[in-house]
């Protein structure tokens, strides 16, 4: 997907000069249109990023200072007390003094739960979906393609529709407020993951596999040692998409995972927001809590920015 | 798979035999997941929609009563109306903004870091988005209102005013998704041949005109696909409403997804909730089919 961005004015120059990652941006003349485009883009970027900077700035501000803090992005009187409070490291007195309600939230635990939930879903979904996708791409048996179509049609069903019976099932199994109940509906497959991986497995030449079969390799070895390494890019992309979705999951976890020991960060932060007095909300604490949700994704973006951005071209189905 | 012309004829016999046992083994987890968490709930949901069930006593069949009740339920119609406003406002603003951003990214040949930065809100959980925007838009200490006051405008309670609330939710989600949608369009733009632009620049066409009369028409298949996908998602608005407004003030943001949720899990009216789920499913299905038809019709535009 690393196609060079074709430029509308000096595309020819671009084609001559490029070929590698370097783009001839310096050659660009600063025409009024170009400057206007940049200005517009910068404004849009500020609108996109600013609320998160403001969130961070507030998270490092005392609640008492919020009214008078002005519009500077750097807190005048910075503090980490809000992070200490939401991570359960501050004493009740500290919490009350800083504008909390003294109830002692422990987002450290919820952060750990969320990271675990995300990791388990990524491993389970990608692994099990890879097995299924390989079957649909390569193995032959009667009714395979019909079965695949049936799997795919599940993409159309709105989650709220299946959430109702799934909740009842979890209740009957006694899995409410257990980690198993939390991950169960997502662990084994998603139609999207199977569809996505099957596309890539199909594009791998059969000859590669036949050579391995000739060497006496079994199907499982072929999948894990030939196919999956060749599809490592799409697998990583799928893992990232799965992680982002798992991190964002709210409806299901707040139905079956309200107990503190399995509570996810999303549920905890939402509960924290709802229990904050509406007359004088604990904004600094809330922003520190929200920052805990934002920072892991910002790190993911910094590390995997190229992969995430480039993957959007073909993952747009989600 | 028709392409069974193997380079290794000796393998033919080994490849021709059915892989059913291996396939069954590898498919087992996915099949269980599909059967237990997709197929069975689908059947259950439809069956439940014809019953009256409060989770405590056994369900008893009521025929089409739940569907008849929907027709009489002003809150159901309100939910549909609010959802429709949300979808129209969200999809229109998000698509226009995303197309504009994609055009700008293209015209300045934005670096990867710019394209990554624009994606950040999409990676952030809806719960965090709701809380951050609640703060930004707060009538007393919110940054947006401070700015409005600074230029002498009238401050607003964006989430707390029943006239504004659903538009606020829609625009907040447009803001969240515009960068993501823009990158989908941007990826589509990269598939347009540079020679097209070259020809247009030789004709003396300027930036905006090129975008309007060349990029947009050639991008139509991508636009149609993005519209289908984002509209399906848009109908399922829940998280932001649940955290930021809880359906209020009044019923002004009680979208269909949230109304179903409340019926099922706050009032334990499972039959009625399921019936509304069936209707939502059908609505999404009809919209998808219409849009996919349109998509096929626009395919001819490129070649």
Partner-chain residue, chosen from A45, A213, A297, that has the shortest CB–CB distance to B124: A297
Pair of tokens at residue A81: 């007390």
User: What is the ipTM metric for this complex?
Assistant: 0.85
Across the range B51-72, mean pLDDT stands at: 90
Q: Quick one: pLDDT at residue A104?
A: 60
**pLDDT-derived band at B8, boundaries 50, 70, 90:** low
Mapped onto helix, strand or coil, the DSSP state of residue A76 is coil
Contacts of A133 (CB under 8 A, 6+ apart): A193, A194, A195, A196, A197, A198, A201
Say yes or no: A129 contacts chain B, CB-CB below 8 A. yes
**Nearest chain A alpha carbon to B122:** A244
pLDDT digits (tens, 9 = 90+) for B209-263: 788 888 888 888 788 878 888 888 899 999 999 999 988 799 999 999 999 999 9
Tokens 């197929």 label which residue?
A: B39
From A98's Cα to the closest Cα of chain B, the distance in A is 17
**Residue of A67, A298, A312 lying closest to B187 (CB–CB):** A312
- Interface residue A160 vs chain B (CB under 8 A): yes
Q: Is A283 on the interface with B (CB under 8 A)?
A: yes
Closest of A39, A51, A46 to residue B117, by C-alpha: A46
Q: Which of B45, B110, B133 sits opposite A164 (nearest CB)?
A: B45
Query: What does the pLDDT look like over B175-210, one tens digit per residue?
Result: 999 999 999 898 888 888 777 777 777 666 667 778
Q: What is the pTM of this model?
A: 0.85
User: What single-letter DSSP state applies at residue A79?
Assistant: -
The model's pLDDT over B76-91, given as tens digits with 9 standing for 90+, comes to 999 999 999 999 999 9
- CA angle (A35, A37, A41) in 5-degree steps: 115
CA nearest to A172 within chain B: B55
C-beta separation of A1 from A313 below 8 A: yes
Which residues in chain B have their CB less than 8 angstroms from residue A281's CB? 138
Tracing tokens 């491993």 back to the chain, one arrives at: A123
pLDDT at A55: 92
Write the CA distances from B133 to A48, A96, A287, integer angstroms: 12, 25, 10
Q: Which of A5, A180, A251, A278 to mutate to test the interface with B (most CBs of B within 10 A)?
A: A5
Res. A148: pLDDT tops 70: yes
pLDDT, tens digit (0-9, with 9 covering 90-100), for B90-122: 999 999 999 999 989 888 888 888 888 999 999
d(C-alpha A13, C-alpha B298), whole Å: 32
- For the record, the structure tokens of B86 come out as 């949300």
Tell me which H or E stretch contains B51: strand B51-52
A44 contacts B104? CB cut-off 8 A: yes
Q: Is A174 on the interface with B (CB under 8 A)?
A: no
DSSP symbol at A17: H
Q: Closest by alpha carbon to A121, among A180, A77, A203?
A: A180
Q: Is B52 helix (H, G, I), strand (E, B) or coil?
A: strand
Nearest-CA distance A138 → chain B (Å): 8
Structure tokens at B48: 């439940």
**What token pair was written down for A211?**
């050579």
Q: How many CB pairs under 8 A join A and B?
A: 321
Contact A8 B117 (CB under 8 A): no
Q: Residue B143: its pLDDT value, please?
A: 87
Residues linked to residue B61 through DSSP beta bridges, in sequence order: B51
User: What's the length of chain A?
Assistant: 318
Question: How far is the C-alpha of B95 from the C-alpha of B45, rounded, in Å?
Answer: 33
- List the one residue out of A165, A310, A120, A177 whose CA is nearest residue A234: A310
Return all residues near A135 (Cβ < 8 A) that are at least 6 apart: A144, B19, B22, B23, B26, B27
| Neighbour tally for B14: CB within 10 Å | 12
Which one of A54, A154, A214 has the shortest CB-CB distance to B143?
A54
Q: Which of B18, B26, B124 lies nearest to residue A294, judging by beta carbons?
A: B124
Q: What is the dihedral of CA A125, B112, B126, A270, to 10 degrees?
A: 90
* pLDDT over 50 at A20, yes or no: no
8 Å CB contact of A293 and B127: yes
Measured between beta carbons, the chain B residues lying within 8 angstroms of A245 are none
Question: pLDDT tens digit string along A158-205?
Answer: 888 889 999 999 999 999 999 999 999 999 988 888 988 998 888 888
B61 membership: H or E segment, kind and range? strand B60-61
Interface of A with B in 28-87 (CB under 8 A): 28, 33-34, 37-38, 40-41, 44-45, 47-49, 51-52, 54-55, 58, 66-67, 71
Question: Which three-class secondary structure state does DSSP give residue B60?
Answer: strand
SS (H, E, C) B245-265: HCCCCCCCCCCHHHHHHHHHH
Is any Cβ of chain B less than 8 angstroms from the Cβ of A208? no
Question: From B236, which residue of chain A is nearest by alpha-carbon distance?
Answer: A158
Average pLDDT, rounded, for chain B? 85
- A210-242 burial, b if ≥16 CB within 10 A, otherwise e? bbbbeeeeebeebbeebbbebbeebbebbbbbb
Q: Is the pLDDT of residue B276 over 90?
A: yes
Distance, CA of A53 to CA of B156 (rounded, Å): 22
- Structure confidence at residue A6 (pLDDT): 31
A139 or B206, higher pLDDT: A139
pLDDT band, very low/low/confident/very high, at A21 (cuts 50, 70, 90):
very low
**Distance from the B224 Cα atom to the nearest Cα atom in chain A, whole angstroms:** 12
Of B249, B184, B194, B190, nearest to B222 by C-alpha is B184
Q: How far apart are CA A66 and CA A98, in angstroms?
A: 12
- Smallest Cα–Cα separation from B76: which of B280, B267, B282, B270? B280
């Amino acid at each position: 997907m690393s196609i060079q961005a074709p430029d509308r004015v000096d595309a020819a120059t671009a084609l001559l000069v490029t070929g590698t990652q370097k783009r001839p941006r310096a050659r660009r003349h600063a025409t009024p249109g170009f400057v206007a485009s940049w200005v517009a883009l910068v404004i849009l970027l500020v609108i996109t990023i600013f609320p998160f900077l403001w969130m961070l700035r507030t998270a490092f501000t005392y609640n008492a200072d919020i009214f008078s803090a002005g519009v500077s992005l750097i807190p005048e009187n910075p503090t980490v007390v809000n992070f200490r409070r939401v991570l359960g490291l501050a004493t009740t007195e500290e919490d009350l003094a800083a504008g909390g309600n003294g109830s002692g939230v422990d987002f450290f635990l919820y952060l750990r739960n969320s990271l675990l939930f995300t990791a388990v879903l990524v491993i389970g979904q990608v692994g099990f979906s890879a097995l299924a996708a390989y079957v649909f791409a390569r193995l032959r048996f009667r009714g395979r393609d019909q079965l695949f179509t049936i799997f795919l049609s599940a993409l159309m069903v709105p989650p709220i529709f299946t959430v109702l019976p799934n909740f009842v099932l979890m209740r009957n199994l006694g899995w409410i407020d257990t980690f198993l109940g939390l991950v169960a509906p997502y662990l084994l497959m998603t139609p999207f993951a199977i569809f996505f991986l099957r596309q890539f497995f199909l594009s791998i030449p059969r000859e590669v596999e036949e050579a391995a079969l000739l060497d006496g390799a079994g199907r499982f070895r072929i999948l894990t040692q030939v196919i999956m390494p060749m599809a490592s890019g799409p697998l990583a992309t799928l893992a990232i998409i799965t992680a982002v979705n798992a991190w964002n999951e709210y409806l299901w976890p707040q139905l079956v995972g309200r107990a503190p020991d399995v509570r996810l960060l999303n549920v905890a932060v939402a509960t924290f927001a709802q229990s904050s007095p509406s007359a004088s909300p604990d904004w600094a604490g809330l922003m520190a809590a929200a920052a805990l949700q934002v920072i892991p994704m910002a790190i993911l973006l910094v590390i995997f920015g190229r992969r995430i951005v480039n993957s959007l071209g073909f993952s747009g189905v989600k | 798979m028709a392409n069974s012309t193997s380079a290794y004829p000796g393998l033919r016999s080994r490849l021709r035999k059915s892989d059913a046992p291996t396939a069954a083994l590898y498919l087992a987890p996915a099949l269980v997941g599909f059967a237990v968490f997709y197929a069975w709930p689908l059947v259950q949901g439809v069956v439940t929609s014809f019953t009256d069930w409060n989770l405590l006593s056994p369900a008893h069949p009521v025929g089409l009563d739940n569907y008849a009740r929907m027709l009489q339920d002003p809150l159901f119609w309100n939910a549909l109306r609010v959802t429709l406003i949300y979808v129209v406002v969200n999809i229109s603003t998000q698509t226009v903004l995303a197309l504009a951003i994609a055009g700008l990214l293209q015209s300045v040949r934005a670096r990867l870091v710019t394209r990554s930065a624009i994606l950040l809100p999409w990676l952030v959980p809806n719960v965090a988005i709701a809380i951050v925007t609640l703060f930004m838009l707060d009538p007393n200490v919110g940054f947006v209102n401070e700015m409005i006051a600074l230029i002498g405008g009238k401050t607003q309670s964006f989430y707390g005013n029943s006239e504004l609330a659903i538009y606020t939710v829609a625009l907040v989600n447009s803001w969240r998704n515009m960068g993501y949608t823009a990158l989908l369009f941007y990826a589509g733009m990269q598939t347009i041949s540079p020679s097209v632009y070259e020809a247009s620049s030789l004709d003396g066409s300027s930036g905006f005109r090129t975008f309007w009369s060349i990029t947009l028409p050639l991008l139509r298949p991508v636009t149609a696909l993005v519209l289908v996908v984002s509209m399906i998602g848009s109908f399922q608005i829940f998280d932001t409403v649940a955290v930021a407004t809880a359906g209020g003030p009044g019923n002004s943001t009680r979208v269909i997804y949230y109304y179903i949720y409340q019926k099922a899990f706050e009032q334990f009216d499972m039959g009625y909730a399921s019936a509304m789920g069936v209707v939502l499913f059908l609505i999404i299905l009809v919209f998808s089919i219409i849009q996919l038809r349109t998509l096929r019709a626009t395919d001819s535009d490129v070649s």
